[in-house]
Structure 1
Amino acid sequence: MINFLAIIVPVLIVILLARPTGLYVAKAFKYERTGLDKVFGPVERLIYKAGGIRQDNQNWKQYAGSLVLTNAVMIGLVYLIFRIQAYLPLNPSHVANMEPTLAFNTAISFMANTNLQHYSGESGLSYLSQMIAIVFMMFTAPATSLAIAIAFIRGLTGRPLGNFFVDLIRSITRILLPIAFVAAFVFIAVGVPQTLEPSVVAKTVEGAEQIIARGPVGSFLSIKELGNNGGGFFGVNSAHPFENPDNISNMLQMILMMLVTTALPFTYGKMAGNAKQGRILFVSMLMMFIVTLGISLTSEYAGNPVLNALGIDHHQGSMEGKEVRFGVAQSSLYSVVTTASETGAVNTMHDTLTPIGGLITIGNMMLNTVFGGIGAGFMNVLMYAIIGVFLSGLMVGRTPEFLGKKIEGKEMKLIAVTMLIQPLLILAPTAIALAVYPETISNPGFHGLTQALYEFTSSAANNGSGFEGLGDNTTFWNISTGIVMYLGRFFSMVTLLAVAGSLLAKKTVPETTGTFRTDTGLFGAVFLGSVIIVGALTFFPAVVLGPIAEYLTLKP
C-alpha cells in the first residue's frame, strides 16, 4: 500500500498542476498581465535597455540565428571558466583546471540542456564554476528550449514568432526563476546543504579520515530538476543523501521534472484557441507514460530471472543499484520520470536496472515524446502530430491540413530530415565506439552494446543520464558525445522552426467536412500510432541486439 501511494501521489499532483501551469505559461507568453508584472517588469525593461534589445518580431531565420549565436557565445564563456577555474575565487577545495576535451564536452553538455557528466560533480568543479557557469546554463538552456517551443507554437497557430531575446528573458523571469527560488528553500528545509564552506574532514569509527563534500546544493538542485537539466552536484547525483535526503525531496524532484513539460500541451491548446487539442495530446502522452511505468515496475519487481530460476527469494524485487530509502517503487518511477521528461537526474544506477527496465529508459529517450523535455520535447510531439495528419491525408487522397494550414512537400522534407538526424547521431557513433574503442566499455556482450547505445541516445536526446561504468572521460567519448549533443540539440530546433516559418507564411484554409480534426480521440490514436510506427520501429533492431537480447539470454 505504501509503495502504491509513493507512485500515485506524485503522479496525481503532476496531473492536477498541469493545466493551471499550462494556462499561466500561455498567459506569460501572450504578454497578458500576471501577478509577477510588478516584480519582474522593471527588471525586464532594464535588461532590454542594457542589452539594446528591441521588442520586435523576428522571422524564423532571425530567431534561429539569434538562438544559435547566443548559445555559441555562452558555450565559449563557460568553457573559458572551466579552463581557468583553479585561478579563480570560491575554490576552497583547490579543484584543478578542466582538461580541454572535458571542458569542451561539459560546456556543450550543459548549454544543450543535456548535463552529461564525464567528471564527478563534487571533485570536477569549483564552487564558482558550479554557480557562475553550471547554474547559469541550467537557467539559460531550458529558457532557450521553452522560448523556441513557444515560437514554434506561435508559428503553427498563425501568430508572429516573437523575439528570441524577449522570450529567453521571460522564460527565466516569469517561469524558471520564481519556481526555482521557492523550491530551493523547500529543499534546504528538508536537509539539502546550502553553504560556501569547504568539504568537512570527519573521523570514522575506525579512526580513519573521511572527506565529506558539501556546497551550495539547494539552489543548484531546484533548477536542476525544474529546468530538466539533471546534472548532479555530486557524482552519484540524486542517489546522494545531500542531494536527495528523503522521500519528500524525492517526490518534489519528480514533480519539478514533470511540471512544465506536462503543462505545455495545455499552453498549446490555449494559444491555438482549442483547449481540446491540448487535452488530446496530454492524454495521449499520459497513456504512454503509464504504460512505460507499468512495464518498468513489473520488470523491476520481478527481479533477476536467473535468481528466480535458482529459487532465491526475490519478493522485494531487484534492489541492485538502488537506494534502500527509496526502494524499487520510487526508483523505478524516478527512472521513468527522468527519461520521460528528458531530465537525466538519477536516484538509482540505470546500468543496474533489469534489461526491460533499462529498455524503458532508452525507449523514452529515443521517442522523446513521452512528454519530453522543457520545450524541445514538445516540439517533437507536435512534429509527430503533423506526421499523423500527413499520413491520414495520404490515406484519403486529400492534401493534409494542420491548424488551417496545408502540409505540403517543403514542410515534410524538413520534418523527414529532422527525423533522420537523431537515428544517425545515435546509431553511427555507437557502431564506431563498439568497433574502435571496445576497451572503454566495461560490460561484455549485449549489456556492453546497451551501455554504448545508451550513452549516445542520452546525448542526442538531451537527457544526460548514463549506464555508469563506461570509461567515458577520454578524448573519443568527450569529443564524440559533445558533437552529438550539439547537433542533437540545435539541428532539430532550426529545422522545426523553419517548418513553423513556412506554415506561418501560408494562408489559412477554411475548415470543411473533409478536414481531419485534431481535437478528437481518433486523432489521439493516430498520433500514438505515428509515434510507435515511425519512431519506435526506427530503433527496433538496435534494442533487439541490446536489452531485449540480454533479457532473452537471462531467461531460464
Structure 2
Amino acid sequence: MAILQLVAVIVILVFLVKPLGAYIFHVFSNEPNRTDKIFGPIERLIYGLTGLKNRAEMSWKRYTLSLILTNVILVAVSYLILRIQKWLPINPNGIDNMESTLSFNTVISFMTNTNLQHYSGETGLSYFSQMAVIMMMMFTSAASGIVVAIAFIRGLTSKGKTLGNFFTDFVKAHTRLLIPMAIIVTLALVALKVPQTLSPTVQATTIEGETQLIAIGPVASLVSIKHLGTNGGGFFGVNSSHPFENPSPLTNVIEMLSMWCIPAALTYTFGRFARNQKQGWVIFSAMLILFVAFLSVVYTSELRGNPALNALGIDASQGSMEGKEVRFGIAQSALFTTVTTAATTGTVNNMHDTLTPLGGLVPLSQMMLNCVFGGDGVGLVNMLMYAILGVFLCGLMVGRTPEFMGRKIEAREMKLVAIAILAHPLIILAPSAIAFLTDLGKGAISNPGFHGISQVLYEYTSSAANNGSGFEGLGDNTTFWNVSTGLVMLFGRYISIVALLGVAGSLAAKQWVPETIGTFRTDTKLFAGILVGTVLIIGALTFLPALVLGPIAEHLTLLK
C-alpha cells in the first residue's frame, strides 16, 4: 500500500508534464494563441501603467541586468516594510518590527527563492508583511527563475542573438502561469479546510481551563504559491507539518504535485522549443532516475528505523516515526522529503533533523546536486549545464569538437560552466569550515559529533541551493548566521544565473551547425545515462568527503 502511494504520485506527475509543459511553451513562445484573448488586456494595462511600451528583444547582458535590478528594487522595498511593520496596517496581533540582520536575511532569502526562515512566521510577521513581502516575493522570485529558464532555452534553440524581453517574460510568468495556478490551488486548499482569513489570533479554552492562543491568517493563499513557486517558507514555524497548512493526506499530495509540476513540465517546454520532443524527455528521464534512486534510499532508511534503537529491541514495525506526522506516515513523509529537496522548495511535512543518518543524506545530496528537477526554472538550467558538460567530455574522448543543439561548445562556454559548477561547492564548504573554526558558528550547534557537522553542512547547502529547509536543531537566528547565510543565498542564486545566461548568449550568437553522421546525438537513452553519470561523478568528486564526515560517519557509528 505504501509503495502504491509513491507510485501513484509519480504517475500523476508524469501525466501532468505534457499538458503543463505545452501550456508554458505557448505562454513564452511569443506566438499568437488563445490565451491572448484572456490575458492580453490585463498585460497591456500593466505595460501601460509601468511605461513598458517598447519591449524590444534583449541581449543576454541586458536581460541579466534587467533581472538583477528588478530584484534589487524589490529587496529594498521589502526590507523597509519589515523594519517598520509595527506601524503598518493589517497587524491585528501587534507584531513588532523585525531586527536588522534578520530582516536582511529574510528579504535575501525570499528574493533568491530560498525561503530560509530564521524566524517563526506566526510570531515574527504581521499579516501585511506576510502578504506584501513574503507572498509578493514568492511570486516574483519564482517568476525570475522561470524567465531565466526560458531565456536559456531560447539561447540554446533559437537562431537569433537575443534572449527575448525580460519584462514581457516576467509579466507573463505572473499573469498567465503563477497567479492562475495559485488561485486554483488556493481554492482547493480552502475547500480542504486550510484557513484563509484576516481575523486575529483565536483565543480558546483548553479542557484544563487554560487559555490558548491559536494563530490563523491568510494561510491557503501563501501555501499555494509557496509550493507552486518552489519557495517553501511556511506561514507557521513548523511549516507543512502544521495541520492548518497541511491537514490531510490529500492536501499533502496536492502540495507535493504543486511544487513538482512546473520544474518537471519545463523539460517538455524545452523539447517544444527545440522542435525535438525527445530532447525534453531525455532531460526528464535523467531527473526522474536520480529522483527515484534518492527516494528509494530515504524510504527504506526510514522504514527500517534507527539502527541504535533497533539494537535495543524497541518495536520498529512502523519505521522511524520520530519527527513525523502520524497522518502521513513513512511513505508520504519520505516522498515529501525527496520532492521538497529535489525541487529545492524547502517546505517540510516532517523534521529533517530527526531523519535517520542515511535518510538525512538524501535531502543533503539532492541540494548539493541542485538539478534533480530543481527549483522553478533554475533546476532545468542546471541540468542543461550538465548536459553541455557531458557533451564536452564525450567530445574530448573521441577527439571531436563537441556540439549541443546545433552549436559548437568551445572554451568560452566551458569557462562559464566551470564557474557555475565550482561556485556551488565553494560557497557551501568554505562557510561551513569558517563556522566550525569560530565560536560564533560553533555556539549554534546543538548536537555534538557527526550530527553537528551535518547540521552546519545542511544549513549552508540549503542556502546555496536556494532550498530553505533546515536541520532545525541549529540556533541560527544570530548576526553571524543571518549575515553568512544571507551572503551564501545571494551567491548561490546569482553567480550561476549570470554565468549560465552568459552561456546562452554566447551560444545564441553562434552559427547553426547542421547535423551530420558524426554528430553525437543528445536525444537518446545513451545520453540520458551519460547525463546521470556526469551529475553523480561531479557531485561525488566535490561533496563526498563532506558527506563522509557527516551523515555517513553517523550511520556507521550507529551500526556499532
**Over residues 288-321 of structure 1, what are the superposed CA-to-partner deviations in whole Å (9 max), with x where a residue is unaligned?**
1111111110000010101212222201100000
AA at the equivalent of 1:59:
S
- Partner of residue 513, structure 2: 509
Q: Secondary structure at the match of 1:134?
A: helix
- Partner of residue 429, structure 1: 431
Q: Tell me the distance in 1 between the aligned counterparts of 2:67 and 2:540.
A: 30
- Partner of residue 131, structure 1: 131
Q: Secondary structure at the match of 1:371?
A: coil
Q: Secondary structure at the match of 1:94?
A: coil
**Aligned residue among 163, 166, 176 for 1:164:** 166
- Partner of residue 530, structure 2: 526
Q: Tell me the distance in 1 between the aligned counterparts of 2:33 and 2:90.
A: 37
- Partner of residue 20, structure 1: 19
Q: Tell me the distance in 1 between the aligned counterparts of 2:149 and 2:47.
A: 21
**Over residues 229-266 of structure 1, what are the superposed CA-to-partner deviations in whole Å (9 max), with x where a residue is unaligned?**
00000000000000001111101000101110110111
- Partner of residue 155, structure 1: 155
- When structure 1 is superposed on structure 2, of 379-388 and 19-28 the one drifting more is 19-28
Structure 1's unaligned 5+ residue stretches are none
Deviation at 1:4, TM superposition (A): 2.6
Q: Secondary structure at the match of 1:202?
A: strand
Q: Tell me the distance in 1 between the aligned counterparts of 2:487 and 2:129.
A: 22
Structure 2's unaligned 5+ residue stretches are none
Q: Tell me the distance in 2 between the aligned counterparts of 1:70 and 1:536.
A: 36
Is the contact between residue 155 and residue 500 of structure 1 (CA under 8 Å) also seen in structure 2? Answer: yes
- Partner of residue 111, structure 1: 111
**Corresponding pairs, count:** 555
- Partner of residue 218, structure 2: 216
- Partner of residue 551, structure 2: 547
> Is residue 492 of structure 1 aligned with residue 496 of structure 2?
yes
Deviation at 1:152, TM superposition (A): 0.4
Q: Secondary structure at the match of 1:283?
A: helix
Q: Tell me the distance in 1 between the aligned counterparts of 2:397 and 2:7.
A: 40
**Aligned residue among 455, 462, 465 for 1:458:** 462
- Partner of residue 414, structure 1: 416
- Partner of residue 471, structure 1: 475
- When structure 1 is superposed on structure 2, of 480-489 and 24-33 the one drifting more is 24-33
Is the contact between residue 427 and residue 453 of structure 1 (CA under 8 Å) also seen in structure 2? Answer: yes
Q: Secondary structure at the match of 1:482?
A: helix
- Partner of residue 38, structure 1: 37
Q: When the two structures are superposed, what TM-score results if normalisation uses the length of structure 2? A: 0.98
AA at the equivalent of 1:8:
V
Q: Tell me the distance in 2 between the aligned counterparts of 1:84 and 1:38.
A: 41
Q: Tell me the distance in 1 between the aligned counterparts of 2:40 and 2:93.
A: 39
Deviation at 1:36, TM superposition (A): 3.1
AA at the equivalent of 1:364:
Q
- Partner of residue 61, structure 2: 61
Identity of aligned residues (%): 60
Q: Tell me the distance in 1 between the aligned counterparts of 2:42 and 2:298.
A: 45
Q: Secondary structure at the match of 1:417?
A: helix
- When structure 1 is superposed on structure 2, of 187-196 and 25-34 the one drifting more is 25-34
**Over residues 107-137 of structure 1, what are the superposed CA-to-partner deviations in whole Å (9 max), with x where a residue is unaligned?**
0100000000000010000000001111110
Q: Secondary structure at the match of 1:57?
A: coil
- RMSD after superposition: 0.9
Deviation at 1:471, TM superposition (A): 0.6
Q: Tell me the distance in 2 between the aligned counterparts of 1:190 and 1:231.
A: 20
> Is residue 394 of structure 1 aligned with residue 393 of structure 2?
no
AA at the equivalent of 2:442:
P
**Aligned residue among 202, 206, 209 for 1:207:** 209
Deviation at 1:181, TM superposition (A): 0.4
**Over residues 172-218 of structure 1, what are the superposed CA-to-partner deviations in whole Å (9 max), with x where a residue is unaligned?**
11111111101100000101000000001111111111110000001
AA at the equivalent of 2:413:
E
- When structure 1 is superposed on structure 2, of 343-352 and 22-31 the one drifting more is 22-31
**Aligned residue among 395, 403, 406 for 2:405:** 403
**Over residues 416-438 of structure 1, what are the superposed CA-to-partner deviations in whole Å (9 max), with x where a residue is unaligned?**
11111111110000111111121
**Over residues 35-69 of structure 1, what are the superposed CA-to-partner deviations in whole Å (9 max), with x where a residue is unaligned?**
43222211111111221222210001100100111
**Over residues 298-357 of structure 1, what are the superposed CA-to-partner deviations in whole Å (9 max), with x where a residue is unaligned?**
000010101212222201100000011111111111000000001000000000000011
- Partner of residue 335, structure 1: 337
Q: Secondary structure at the match of 1:248?
A: helix
Q: Tell me the distance in 2 between the aligned counterparts of 1:511 and 1:505.
A: 18
Deviation at 1:5, TM superposition (A): 3.1
- Partner of residue 86, structure 2: 86
